[in-house]
Amino acid sequence: MAEDQYTFQDPTKRFPSISPPEEQDQPEPGLDEWLNPHTDRGQDSYRGTGRLEGRRALITGADSGIGAAVAISFARESADVALSYLPVEEEDARDIVKIIEESGRKAVALPGDISDASKAKEMVAKAVEGLGGLDILVNNAGKQISCERLEDLSDEQFDETMKTNVYAMFWITKSALPHMEAGSSIINTTSIQAYKPSPDKIDYATTKAAINNFSKGLAQQLAPRGIRVNTVAPGPFWTPLQVSDGQPKEKLPQFGKSTPLGRAGQPTELGPAYVFLASPESSYVVGETLNVNGGQPTP
Ligand code: NAD
Ligand code: MG
């Protein structure tokens, strides 16, 4: 039998401890297609057991990395998926659309820049139309550009990081809510950076703390309506964001090695966390931050 996420195994060895070469650079947002080494998004291993039967999910940043792994997991768990991504990521998005369709589910492709309010709102409307409703929203798109000195952090970058990571989440959630009934689930991607900020990620880490806080407040507001809000806080996961100036280049070979598990995470290792929070099986889990970070202590 082929290995899947249920195969009993040593987590330190489930995936190799990668040493990505520092001589790789991609213009933002970066493509999975060109990443060295490639990532594991569960395309060959994630086995569904019907945990999201018939659900309709919108996932932002679903073309690559974590969002792509979540999209594949959801489709394998029998959900239809709308994928939001930037137009330049069409190549990556097409791969994920194909995997979703091969899993027997519907895929709705939604290219567009969600850091623009009108486009973000339009994107939600198209998702609802394409899926015939909405039960799950995953705000996962994100911008992360490393910058060593605050004096070099441009006003434009600060603004774009806020718009992409925080404003878009607000616009998209606000537009999606009228379509979400009791039983629906909202999951936002935060980060270990929310409470352990790296000195070179001031703007980014600030947004991740905001996402955590926004989610914990909104979770209380929406719980009486039967809509659950939770977050997932990944540690170091190997994705295109890391090589499109998300990390200082010299840090790439060591990426993820300082975690207790001794290796970077592969995107597919996040799939089950999002599936759990999306599914009614987590009915009493509200306002939670689910850390998936290789063993780093969290508050
Ligand atoms: P990724 O590059 O694969 O995904 C980020 C995606 O965001 C892109 O694919 C892109 O489609 C989308 N995006 C960015 N700007 C956009 C815009 N203006 N309009 C529309 N879409 C836009 O990288 P990833 O690491 O999978 O990132 C996914 C999320 O996970 C991000 O929120 C990131 O902050 C978070 N995260 C990642 C890590 C990690 O180690 N990789 C750790 C913690 C949190
Ligand atoms: Mg991408």
Give 249-268 pLDDT, tens digit per residue: 999 999 999 999 999 999 99
99: in domain: yes
Q: Quick: pLDDT tens for 118-127.
A: 999 999 999 9
Q: Which residue is catalytic, options 6, 204, 274, 284?
A: 204
User: Mean pLDDT, the chain, as a whole number?
Assistant: 98
Cα separation of 193 and 196, whole Å? Answer: 5
Residue 234 exposure: Cα atoms within 13 Å on the Cβ side: 26
Chain position carrying tokens 């508050």: 299
| Domain total in the chain | 1
- Look at ligand 1, atom 33, and give the residue with the nearest C-alpha: 142
36: in domain: no
In sequence order, which residues have a C-beta less than 8 Å from that of residue 133 and are 6 or more positions away? 56, 179
Chain position carrying tokens 């809000």: 229
20: in domain: no
| Whether the CB of 272 sits within 6 Å of ligand 1 | no
Cα separation of 10 and 104, whole Å? Answer: 31
Please give the average per-residue pLDDT across 72-100, as a whole number: 98
Q: How far is the CA of 187 from the centre of ligand 2 (A)?
A: 19
Judged against a pLDDT cut of 90, whether residue 2 lies above it is answered with: no
165: in domain: yes
Q: Which long-range contacts (CB under 8 A, 24 or more apart) does 210-215 make?
A: 210/165, 210/166, 211/139, 211/165, 211/166, 211/169, 212/289, 214/166, 214/169, 214/170, 214/188, 215/186, 215/188, 215/190, 215/287, 215/289
Helix, strand, coil distribution of the chain in percent, nearest 5:
40, 15, 45
Q: Quick: pLDDT tens for 228-238.
A: 999 999 999 99
CATH number of domain containing 135:
3.40.50.720
Told to judge if 6 belongs to the known catalytic residues of this protein, a careful annotator would answer no
Cα separation of 48 and 1, whole Å? Answer: 15
Please give the average per-residue pLDDT across 28-48, as a whole number: 97
Judged against a pLDDT cut of 80, whether residue 1 lies above it is answered with: no
Q: How far is the CA of 121 from the centre of ligand 1 (A)?
A: 19
Q: Which domain holds residue 183?
A: 49-292
